[in-house]
Amino acid sequence: MKIFLAGAAGAIGKRLVPLLLDAGHRVVGTTRSPTKADALHAVGVELVVVDVFDAPALSRAVSAARPDIVVHQLTDLPPGLDPARMAEGTRRNARMRREGTQNLVTAALAAGVHRLVTQSIAWMYAPGPEPHGEDDPLDAHAPGTRAVTADGVATLERLTLASPPIDGVVLRYGHLYGPGTGANASEIPSLHVDAAAAAALLAIENACCGIYNIAERSGYLSTDKARRQLGFDPSFRLAAYVRQ
Ligand SMILES: NC(=O)c1ccc[n+]([C@@H]2O[C@H](COP(=O)([O-])OP(=O)(O)OC[C@H]3O[C@@H](n4cnc5c(N)ncnc54)[C@H](OP(=O)(O)O)[C@@H]3O)[C@@H](O)[C@H]2O)c1
């Protein structure tokens, strides 16, 4: 299939590119940076330099690519999640989820794309019995900056799941660690960046539509649905990967 990967140079995007290419998919990847574009081009990605907030340019890029599937791995967070920059990062990331996702959905609809896979997060459940399943409510009445994130997440997920005729798949990722994340371990629910990328490939190839919790085992979160329906394996690592 032809995949339009929004965020090909991000923490997850970089780990997803080799998986997609190895699986035989064609990848059109985005970055805003010509420097990063060179590196991606060298490994076989067809590059588009575009800013997701430039809606007309994004639409032209998606229509020109004529992808089967759009994968949304865009975030706007400070490198290493620098605490000093997180308040501003939270607002920027919420804008990315609202306006960036809207622009991506509009572009995908215009291009006749049939599936959209988006990155969400798995720690926005409202307080309640654990482990949380995908049907549990989000923390819509959260205080402070968590309210900003909750609003962005709810909008991203609604746009992904309710933009027919697109089949939407939402991957609610745990806290990332591993290469490119600036973290060697993470708080619960945790997730290695390679397993996050592998889950996106599984969603592209196996998922119908809906929401999947994607994380390592913990008492906070149930990942049974992703394990059962997608074959998600949180121990997946790129270094040990050999496609059967
Ligand atoms: N679930 C999680 O815990 C989670 C999820 C994601 C990220 N993070 C953390 O956040 C930190 C930064 O991660 P990262 O490097 O992947 O994130 P990032 O660089 O902020 O963004 C990821 C991708 O989004 C793209 N992007 C951002 N703004 C854009 C815009 N306006 N238009 C088009 N593309 C845009 C970037 O493209 P460019 O190539 O143009 O920069 C990049 O490919 C890391 O520490 C990471 O672990 C955590």
pLDDT tens sequence across 52-73: 999 999 999 999 999 999 999 9
Exposed, middle or buried: residue 135 (CB in 10 Å: 0-12, 13-18, 19+)?
exposed
Instruction: Evaluate whether 13 touches 37 at the Cβ level (below 8 Å).
Output: no
Coil, helix or strand at residue 192? strand
102 backbone dihedrals φ, ψ, rounded to 5°: -60, -45
User: Ligand 1 pocket, 45 CB below 6 A?
Assistant: no
Share of residues in the chain with pLDDT > 70 (%): 99
Q: What is the mean pLDDT of the chain?
A: 95
* Cα 244 to ligand 1 centre (Å): 30
What is the pLDDT averaged over residues 205-210?
A: 88
pLDDT value of residue 242: 61
Residue 243's pLDDT is: 62
H/E stretch holding 12 reads helix 11-22
Q: What's this model's pTM, rounded to 2 decimal places?
A: 0.96
| Cα(7) to centroid(ligand 1), Å | 7
Q: Is the CB of 118 under 6 A from ligand 1?
A: no
Q: How far is CA 106 from the centre of its chain?
A: 17
Reported as a single tens digit per residue, the pLDDT across 86-107 is: 889 999 999 999 999 999 999 9
Triad 47, 169, 212: Cα angle to 5°: 125
3-state helix, strand, coil in the chain (%, to 5): 45, 20, 35
Read off the pLDDT of residues 134-170 as tens digits, 9 standing for 90 and up: 999 999 999 998 999 999 999 999 999 999 999 999 9
